Amino acid sequence: MRGLAEKPEAAAPAAQGDGQSSGLDLLKSLRRLPRVVWLLSLASLLNDVSSEAIFPLLPMFLTSLGAPMRFLGLIEGSADALSSVIKMLAGAWSDRGPRRLMVTGGYLMPALARALIAVAVAPWHVLAARLFDRAGKGIRSGPRDALLADSVAAGQRGRAFGLNRAMDHLGAALGLLIASALLSLGVGLRSTFAVAAGIGLLAPVVLFFRLRDPRRAEAAAPVAAAPGAERTRLRRGFVPYLAACVLFALGNSSDAFLLVRAHEVGWPMTELPLIWLLHHLVKSVVAIPGGALSDRQSRAVVVSAGWAAYAVTYLGFGFAKAPWQIVVLFVAYALYHGLAEGAERAIVADLAESGARGRAFGLYHGCVGVAALPAGLATGWVWDAAGPRWALGMNALFAAAASLLLASLAFGGPLRRSSSSGGA
């Protein structure tokens, strides 16, 4: 009995060492990622510094221009829908040639659009600028993600996309800090938007001079294929996975509604950038471990868990009654982003051959984005007609259904094998 009692004590230091070793291994694996991954992640950081210095202030700006809540849903939904159509075309086109100019131009257009918001004098001016902004996102999204997927081996995809999302969210946090600092100094909304646009211009400048199309990682270790076969097809499981993503997207309305809800529950409008800052800092922290987790476990199961977290937190936002509850919910909401965002894109790469990844990411971003229009319009309409509890509850219902569908595909369907690291 004494020997049995002593074994757990002896094993404890080893367990602690294993945890430290895992953390060090993760940091080493990040350092080994190719330069193109870090460069694209830096561009995402700069772009989101610019974007998130504006986004949480946009509802207040639109209100000052006389726009109702329905118009916010129209702006975000229609802008994402336009972006979606462009994503499908740009993704397929990027498989035919160099992607660097498409990615660079796709970062330039949003920076110019944010400068236009700074001089807008009517709600439709903001709508036009957001359409131009999202068009740029449509051009860059598929080619950028295809560049990321082609630059790393299959077992690194979760970490590569996780790093990209982490830098994206870190940039968002920095943007919120800048916006909050400018507002506290008495700088107006228009001047804040102009500063944000200037920061956003740094991303395309860096990419224009430094970005190169990488040699595909799989070229160094070719996969056995039939003679003459082209690696340009989408694998089995892509269509049902895309259907699950669209179902989730129908409930994934703009985060602007959550900021409005926070204000309704008691957060002052001038302090909303601070709570949005906390949310992005947590997302930045959890994105890399979430991506790395999907390199070791079934990616579909990881994404399903993230979608379930989304459903629970949206229900919480609907029933929240105190400002401190909003803080807890925004922190919990970050779990969805950490678990799902990087892994979702890694699954797309796993289910597409190397010559078809631009098309695959274009279809993924496009179909998910098209669903944003009914999602935004329905959320705004239900909000105005029945209140936030019903609107956010509807979003949660779609997310829960998508989570169950994806889990079924992972455990007994076509994603049982292809959703794990290493692809199909």
Task: Give me the phi and psi of 352, to 5 degrees please.
Answer: -130, 140
Candidate CATH numbers 1.10.3720.10, 1.50.10.20, 3.10.20.600, 1.20.1250.20; the one for domain 34-214+234-418: 1.20.1250.20
* Cα–Cα distance list, 384 to 228, 311, 388 (Å): 58, 21, 8
Tell me the domain boundaries of the chain.
34-214+234-418
The pTM for the full model equals 0.74
Q: What pLDDT sits at residue 22?
A: 58
CA distance 83 to 251: 18
CA dihedral of 176, 179, 183, 185, whole degrees rounded to 10: 110
For the four alpha carbons of 23, 28, 29 and 30, in that order, the dihedral sign comes to positive
Q: What pLDDT sits at residue 21?
A: 53
Q: What pLDDT sits at residue 215?
A: 59
Two structure tokens written together for 402? 């998508």
For residues 87 and 141, the answer to whether their CB atoms sit within 8 Å is yes
Two structure tokens written together for 57? 């202030």
For the four alpha carbons of 415, 145, 177 and 290, in that order, the dihedral sign comes to positive
Task: Give me the phi and psi of 234, to 5 degrees please.
Answer: -95, 135
CA distance 331 to 283: 8
Q: What is the pLDDT along the chain (424 residues), one digit of tens a residue?
A: 333 333 333 334 444 455 555 556 666 667 778 888 999 999 999 999 999 888 878 878 888 888 776 787 778 767 877 887 888 888 888 887 678 889 999 999 999 999 999 998 888 889 999 999 989 988 998 889 888 888 888 888 888 888 888 898 899 889 888 988 898 898 988 999 999 999 999 999 999 888 877 655 444 444 444 443 445 688 888 999 999 999 999 999 888 889 889 999 998 877 777 787 888 888 888 888 888 888 888 888 989 999 999 999 999 999 999 999 999 999 999 888 888 888 888 899 889 887 788 889 889 988 887 887 788 889 989 998 999 999 999 999 999 999 999 999 988 777 765 444 444 4
**Helices (H) and strands (E) in the chain — how many of each?**
18, 0
Q: Checking phi first, is residue 186 left (phi over 0); if not, alpha (psi -120 to 50) or beta?
A: left
Q: Which residues neighbour 315 within 8 Å (Cβ) at sequence distance 6 or greater?
A: 392, 393, 396
Q: What pLDDT sits at residue 204?
A: 94
Q: What pLDDT sits at residue 234?
A: 83
Angle at 120 (CA atoms; ends 260, 197), nearest 5 degrees? 80
